[in-house]
Amino acid sequence: MDARIDLRSDTVSQPSERMRHAMATAEVGDDWYGDDPTVNLLQDRAAELTGKEAAIYLPTGTMCNQIALHAYVGSGHLAVCEASAHLGGTEASSAAALSGVAFRYVPAASRGLLTAEQVGVALAPDPYDASVVDLVALENTHQVGGGSVLGVAETGRIAAVATAAGVPLYLDGARIFNACAVAGVAVADYARHADSMMFCLSKGLGAPIGSVLAGDAAFIREARRLKILLGGAWRQAGIMAAAGLIALAEGPGRLPEDHANARALAAGLAELLPGSVDPADVPTNIVFADVSGTGRDAARWRELLAEEGVLVTIIGGRVRMLTHVGVTAAGISAALDAWRRAAKAP
Ligand SMILES: Cc1ncc(COP(=O)(O)O)c(C=O)c1O
């Protein structure tokens, strides 16, 4: 048993016994030839959930984003995204190297949440600007925004602005199920406003591997070509898809528990280090603590917490912690005790 409390990401969770059993007994085929029945089942289920014509199972969320960028955006053209969006930041080098894609970054006023007005300004024609915008990309929930949730209504308004400008809308829904749990809507309610979208099975849903890209049939045909081109034809992938199917069935229903744990963590930190976090700003499973007022930098906090068996990451100078299926309410209490002990350390 791992005694550590690993809050570095919601990707660190271990597959459940049910997942391991399903993986061991999965019916499989060769996914290059499209005849892995478990992959095909997962893809059909994802298409149904998103309300899209088709879906494709891919190894990572990054590959979903990069295939979408390559499919939509011409080399030397632009994608509009929020300034700290994963696909335009962490993955910017991939987009440049693989597809020659550049970004028009729009800084959100609050928590990574773009508005239709901002997207409208980013898409407004400018006779003196020779650049071409081929795509608007949204991220929901927004990771660097602290797991913030863009509502369905605003997503629809942004889609209307993009449609009016003749630009397709893509949704990086790595954590869309977390957004749905808060907004009380189905994935299809968001997906209907986007030309295509992806979601990750390997984050809050708890699968060990995999993400799904969904869209119309022609887009998914092209995505399949690009997947093979990138070396992603992963043969008997049904072994992983079997766990993905369980993640889809069982994962969404337990996300409110992760959200409650994240809020409890934020509340405890707000008490210990006033001003470091506002629990009202923690709608889903991501907690950012601003430790700049503590006399110690984030790297020192990370070190002290690691000594106490609690693992965290640092993003933009803040301590980042994510809750997931591997962290219980008791684990959150233990993590808060570790923070309290670390606070007393010299
Ligand atoms: C919002 C968002 N999009 C995409 C990704 C990429 O997913 P993956 O790690 O599966 O490549 C991440 C990963 O953290 C993410 O947070």
Q: Are residues 176 and 259 in the same domain?
A: no
Domain count, the chain: 2
> Rounded CA gap, 30 and 236, in Å?
5
Q: Are residues 166 and 32 in the same domain?
A: yes
Pocket around ligand 1 at a 6 A CB cut-off: 60-62, 65, 86, 139, 143, 172, 174, 200, 202, 211
Q: Are residues 258 and 244 in the same domain?
A: no
Give the end of a domain, one of 198, 231, 248. Answer: 248
Of ligand 1's atoms, which has the minimum distance to the CA of residue 60? 10
Contacts of 91 (CB under 8 A, 6+ apart): 62, 65, 66
Q: Are residues 259 and 236 in the same domain?
A: no
Nearest to 268 by CA among 332, 343, 204, 345: 332
- pLDDT for 290: 97
Q: What is the DSSP letter of 335?
A: H
CATH of the domain at 297: 3.90.1150.10
Of ligand 1's atoms, which has the minimum distance to the CA of residue 211? 10
Q: Are residues 262 and 244 in the same domain?
A: no
Half-sphere exposure (Cβ direction) of 123: Cα atoms closer than 13 Å:
25
- Whether the upstream peptide bond of residue 141 has omega within 30° of 0, thus cis, is yes
pLDDT band at 3 (very low <50, low <70, confident <90, very high): confident
CA 41 to ligand 1 centroid distance, Å: 23
Asked if the model's pLDDT at residue 2 lies above 70, the reply is no
CA 92 to ligand 1 centroid distance, Å: 13
The pair of three-digit structure tokens given for residue 158, joined into one six-digit string = 């942004």
CATH of the domain at 117: 3.40.640.10
Q: Whose CA is nearest to atom 5 of ligand 1?
A: 61
- Host domain of residue 272: 5-11+253-344
Mean pLDDT (whole number) for 247-263: 98
pLDDT for 175-234, tens place per residue?
999 999 999 999 999 999 999 999 999 999 999 999 999 999 999 999 999 999 999 999
List the beta strands (DSSP E) in 36-180: 54-58, 78-82, 102-106, 133-139, 169-172
What's the pTM? 0.97
Average confidence score pLDDT of the chain: 97
Nearest to 48 by CA among 191, 152, 173: 191
- pLDDT for 1: 42
pLDDT for 294-314, tens place per residue?
999 999 999 999 999 999 999
CA 174 to ligand 1 centroid distance, Å: 6
CA 21 to ligand 1 centroid distance, Å: 26
CA 127 to ligand 1 centroid distance, Å: 36
Q: Whose CA is nearest to atom 13 of ligand 1?
A: 61
Give the end of a domain, one of 195, 214, 248. Answer: 248
Q: What type of residue is 256? A: P
> Rounded CA gap, 86 and 90, in Å?
5
Of ligand 1's atoms, which has the minimum distance to the CA of residue 175? 1
Q: Are residues 284 and 168 in the same domain?
A: no
Q: Are residues 116 and 238 in the same domain?
A: yes
Q: Are residues 161 and 176 in the same domain?
A: yes
Q: Are residues 244 and 270 in the same domain?
A: no
β-bridge mates for residue 213, sequence order: 56, 198
Q: Are residues 44 and 93 in the same domain?
A: yes
pLDDT for 8-59, tens place per residue?
999 999 999 999 999 999 999 999 999 999 999 999 999 999 999 999 999 9
Phi/psi of residue 84, each to 5°?
A: -110, 25
Of ligand 1's atoms, which has the minimum distance to the CA of residue 202? 10
Terminal-to-terminal C-alpha distance of the chain: 30
CA 170 to ligand 1 centroid distance, Å: 15
Give the end of a domain, one of 199, 224, 248. Answer: 248
Asked if the model's pLDDT at residue 337 lies above 60, the reply is yes
Written as one string, the DSSP assignment of 184-214 is: T--HHHHHTTSSEEEEESSSTT--SS-EEEE
Mean pLDDT (whole number) for 122-147: 96
- pLDDT for 124: 96
> Rounded CA gap, 344 and 186, in Å?
45
CB atoms within 10 A of CB 131: 10
3-state helix, strand, coil in the chain (%, to 5): 45, 15, 40
Of ligand 1's atoms, which has the minimum distance to the CA of residue 63? 11
Q: Whose CA is nearest to atom 7 of ligand 1?
A: 61
pLDDT band at 346 (very low <50, low <70, confident <90, very high): confident
Q: Are residues 143 and 181 in the same domain?
A: yes
Q: Are residues 25 and 158 in the same domain?
A: yes
178: enclosing H helix or E strand: helix 176-183
Of ligand 1's atoms, which has the minimum distance to the CA of residue 142? 1
pLDDT for 63-92, tens place per residue?
999 999 999 999 999 999 999 999 999 999
CB atoms within 10 A of CB 93: 9
